[in-house]
């Protein structure tokens, strides 16, 4: 698709025939939408940039944009969100420099995005057709599920001043997750099922994460990619592991590159210094 953005200044907003200034135009730009019929897909994952614009620049430089179909950010782009200006300055503008008007951004909200006077406006700037922070997309052989793991502390934690209601929100999200994996044919027919979310422990939950883990396992989820811990870890499924999916936690100064075909899914994690941190290949079940 090709598109351009046009903004027209209104000099004097009269009741009739307002005085207008010159148009400002950006573009034309081009991008490719997600294609479930594609035999392969490649995407890059970053996390926990926490307003560090130099870190974002280093991550952008470490990504092979020519061969990356889209970017995933698994949350905590901020410490908290103060204003629109803060949102653009600390994240959207430097991140957009890498996207270059041609790559899509998938954003999984982190716990820090629930904090600050402008936090409730965030969805206006990373909108989804569903109007929420949890949803699913199909990209080539991958069925991608984006989850919102909410806060990492109970709603009654005193610093939240009784303004948080994440417990009922997460209950609604779990209902959606269950319904989605039970009624969406693509969940079972896609070669791979990947979840991206912020907290690898599924966030703070009144009754713990068992219901979420059980739903993911029953759906045959192959890989969960998360952040939150600020350091790398990888857990393979096995007899001593409480889940049947591969769990990859990306560190702050790392890029996880995912390459999937109809037979294999490979993840390579590299540091911004160019070092190879880890690689794993997951065969189709």
pLDDT tens for 105-160 read 999 999 999 999 999 999 999 999 999 999 999 999 999 999 999 999 999 898 88
Sequence-ordered list of residues with C-beta below 8 angstroms from that of 256, at least 6 positions apart, any chain: 44, 45, 46, 225, 248, 250, 267, 268, 269
In tens, the pLDDT along 93-116 reads: 999 999 999 999 999 999 999 999
pLDDT at 45: 99
pLDDT band at 231 (very low <50, low <70, confident <90, very high): very high
Average pLDDT over residues 170-192: 98
Distance CA 135, CA 200 (A): 18
Measured between alpha carbons, how far is residue 219 from residues 36, 140, 212 in Å? 19, 19, 11
pLDDT band at 272 (very low <50, low <70, confident <90, very high): very high
Query: What's the predicted TM-score (pTM) here?
Result: 0.95
pLDDT at 161: 81
Token pair of 246 as six digits: 């591969």
192-211 b/e with 16+ CB inside 10 Å = b? bbbbbbbbbebbbbeeebee
pLDDT band at 13 (very low <50, low <70, confident <90, very high): confident
Contact 59, 94 (CB under 8 A): no
Sequence-ordered list of residues with C-beta below 8 angstroms from that of 193, at least 6 positions apart, any chain: 142, 143, 145, 187, 219, 220, 221, 222, 223
Cis geometry, peptide bond prior to residue 283 (ω within 30 degrees of 0): no
**Beta strands across the sheet bearing 233-235:** 135-139, 142-146, 192-196, 223-226, 246-249, 233-235
Average pLDDT over residues 172-185: 98
Identify the residue with better confidence: 23 or 199. 199
pLDDT at 271: 98
Q: What percent of the chain has pLDDT over 90?
A: 91
Average pLDDT over residues 84-101: 97
Instruction: Kindly tell me if the per-residue pLDDT of 177 is higher than 90.
Output: yes
- In the chain the domains, ranked by start, together with CATH numbers, are 1-30 (no CATH), 34-283 (3.60.21.10)
């Amino acid at each position: 698709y090709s598109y351009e953005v046009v903004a027209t200044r209104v000099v004097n907003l009269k009741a009739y025939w307002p005085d207008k200034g010159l148009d400002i135009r950006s573009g034309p730009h081009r991008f490719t939408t997600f294609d479930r019929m594609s035999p392969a897909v490649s995407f890059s994952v970053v996390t926990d940039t926490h307003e560090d614009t130099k870190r974002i620049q280093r991550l952008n430089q470490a990504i092979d944009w020519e061969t990356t179909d889209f970017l995933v950010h698994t949350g905590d782009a901020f410490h908290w969100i103060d204003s629109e200006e803060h949102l653009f300055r600390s994240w959207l503008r430097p991140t957009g420099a890498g996207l270059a008007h041609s790559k899509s951004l998938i954003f999984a909200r982190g716990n820090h995005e629930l904090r600050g006077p402008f936090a409730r406006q965030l969805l206006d700037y990373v909108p989804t057709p569903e109007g929420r922070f949890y949803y699913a997309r199909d990209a080539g052989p991958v069925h991608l599920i984006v989850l919102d793991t909410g806060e990492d502390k109970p709603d009654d934690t005193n610093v939240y001043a009784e303004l948080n209601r994440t417990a009922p929100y997460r209950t609604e999200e779990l209902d959606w997750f269950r319904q989605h994996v039970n009624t969406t044919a693509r969940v079972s027919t896609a070669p791979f099922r990947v979840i991206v979310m912020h907290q690898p422990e599924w966030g703070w939950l009144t009754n713990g994460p068992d219901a979420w883990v059980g739903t993911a396992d029953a759906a045959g989820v192959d890989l969960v990619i998360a952040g939150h811990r600020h350091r790398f870890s990888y857990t393979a499924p096995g007899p001593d592991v409480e889940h049947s999916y591969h769990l990859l936690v990306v560190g702050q100064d790392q890029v996880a590159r995912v390459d999937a075909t109809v037979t294999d899914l490979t993840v390579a994690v590299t540091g911004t210094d160019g070092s190879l941190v880890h690689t794993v290949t997951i065969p189709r079940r």
